[in-house]
Amino acid sequence: MITNEDGIMESSPRELTQNPLRKIWIPCKNGLPEKHISQRRVCMTNCPTLIVTVGLPARGKTYISKKLTRYLNWIGVPTKEFNVGQYRRDCLKIYKSFEFFRPDNEEGLKIRRQCALAALNDVRQYLTVEGGQVAVFDATNTTRERRGTIIKFAEQNGFKVFFVESVCEDPDVIAENIVQVKLGSPDYIDCNTDEAIEDFMKRIKCYETSYQPLDEVLDRDLSYIKIMDVGRRYLVNRVVDHIQSRIVYYLMNIHITPRSIYLCRHGESDLNIKGRIGGDSGLSARGKEFAKCLRKFIQDQKIKELKVWTSQMKRTIQTAEALAAPYEQWKALNEIDAGVCEEMMYEEIQEHYPMEFALRDQDKYRYRYPKGESYEDLVQRLEPVIMELERQENILVICHQAVMRCLLAYFLDKSADELPYLKCPLHTVLKLIPVAYGCKVESICLDVESVNTQRDRPENVNISHMAEEAVFTVHAHL
């Protein structure tokens, strides 16, 4: 310890050690990290954030909540959605009719208030005890009184609040939302379509009488985004930190236009055949055959205004060239950088870098190749691609195994633990169709033989395991 001129004790700089898994420098004591690396989570918020939806029923609040939760978790911000409607269903079990939501139904008001408070209690638990950074409070929150209760709750617990209001007056959009989402709700499971629509429209009327939208003057001190008519216009007010700016940027890029996203890997490459990872080799004979079949498949789909994206690597560009269509190259879509292990076989990595081989098996998502990348790095690199994918309509992305896993994990809401093991075989096209609360997936194998590059999660990940055991899940190759 050092004392400065003012008599204040100053600590000397701590020793640093490089974490072998993520290759980052961290403080240590007696040669040991002061905090285990798995506990050292990068925090994108200087205090927990509570996102609060606002709007009448059937305005897309739950769609926004689920999509935002999926995006934030994908970029590494621990986020959880709290749907007050689900709390109400768990409490009531059986829904009878819109009468429950009438503003003069005292019993209904009491139950709804209790459900909101129960959800807020769970929000507190998640953000203060369970390590969450963002909670999404999904409810109508249509009155200034209810929003005031939430603001007070947040202030008492040291949370920042960001409101997301969805305003829509387009009857066609509202009707489509009711048909797509609300008719499949547990509330209407035993109802015919016409009765369900009639009841839900009456439920909306119950809220309209007391609805107080966010006001530019009265609510000028609040942080919020107001989304009007599913993205035709936006009003953004008082964005105060990094996470709020990320939320605004994301919400201004999503749309609900029906479309299809096609994901596939390049055709089989020369290095694929040899069981070597990375590199920048060209297509094998079978890879070129796949490229021809891909062209026929795309032509048969008769896709309106299809855009094609590739990486800047030879094998994806060769695949796209066979399509005889314009394509755009993205450096961000390049395969994960394996650093010193580029163009090596897994058997060679086990032989020359047994510690690295075992560390990657222990935590494949966070493991960073020496002088290379991790899946975690790759997700950050791919965020601009996701933003642009959200803006686009019909698109074909020709990419690589690790890249495709990251993109697929975003659309299918897969965890960091699942992501590195998602199956993305060669010569197979995945057709993704975004739907209300997720994504439909269709897998189309184009019947061109190829090597299997999938290496499943091994059972034994100890550094002391036998070499044969370490490479047990590696498939046969030349």
Q: What is the pLDDT of residue 197?
A: 93
Q: What is the pLDDT of residue 17?
A: 87
Coil, strand or helix: which one is 48? Answer: coil
Give the C-alpha distances (Å, rounded to integers) separating 327 from 91, 187, 268, 332, 394: 53, 46, 20, 15, 13
Q: What is the pLDDT of residue 457?
A: 86
Q: What is the pLDDT of residue 3?
A: 52
Question: At which residue do the structure tokens 């829904």 appear?
Answer: 95
Q: What is the pLDDT of residue 38?
A: 44
Give 56-90 pLDDT, tens digit per residue.
Answer: 999 999 999 999 999 999 999 999 999 999 999 99
| Catalytic residue list | 138, 168, 266, 335
Q: Determine the residue type at 78.
A: P
Residue 408: pLDDT over 60: yes
Q: What is the pLDDT of residue 11?
A: 65
Q: What is the pLDDT of residue 355?
A: 94
Q: What is the pLDDT of residue 1?
A: 47
Q: What is the pLDDT of residue 436?
A: 82
CB 298 within 8 A of CB 323: yes
Q: What is the pLDDT of residue 30?
A: 75
Residue 7: pLDDT over 60: no
Q: State the CB neighbour count (10 A cutoff) for residue 65.
A: 23
Mean pLDDT of 198-203: 95
Q: What does pTM read for this prediction?
A: 0.92
- Between CA 214 and CA 143 the distance in angstroms is 9
Q: What is the pLDDT of residue 26?
A: 86
Give 204-226 pLDDT, tens digit per residue.
Answer: 999 999 999 999 999 999 999 99
HSE-CB for 22 with a 13 A CA cutoff: 16
Confidence of residue 109 (pLDDT cuts 50, 70, 90): very high
Question: Greater confidence, 226 or 47?
Answer: 226
Confidence of residue 14 (pLDDT cuts 50, 70, 90): confident
Q: How many helices (H) and strands (E) does the chain have?
A: 15, 17
Q: What is the pLDDT of residue 469?
A: 72
Residue 9: pLDDT over 60: no
Mean pLDDT of 291-311: 96
> What is the distance, to the nearest Å, from the Cα of residue 146 to the centroid of all Cα atoms in its chain?
29
Q: State the CB neighbour count (10 A cutoff) for residue 352.
A: 12
- Between CA 325 and CA 305 the distance in angstroms is 11
Coil, strand or helix: which one is 228? Answer: strand
Confidence of residue 458 (pLDDT cuts 50, 70, 90): confident
Q: What is the pLDDT of residue 46?
A: 73
Quick one: tokens of 397? 């992305």
pLDDT averaged over every residue in the chain: 92
Q: What is the pLDDT of residue 36?
A: 52
Mean pLDDT of 285-308: 97
Mean pLDDT of 142-164: 98
Q: What is the pLDDT of residue 475?
A: 82
- Between CA 17 and CA 28 the distance in angstroms is 6
- Between CA 214 and CA 219 the distance in angstroms is 6
Residue 96: closest CA among 162, 190, 216, 14 = 190
Confidence of residue 37 (pLDDT cuts 50, 70, 90): very low
Residue 278: closest CA among 250, 244, 314 = 314
- Give phi and psi for 397, each to the nearest 5: -110, 115
Ranges of beta strands (E only) in 256-394 are: 261-265, 307-310, 328-329
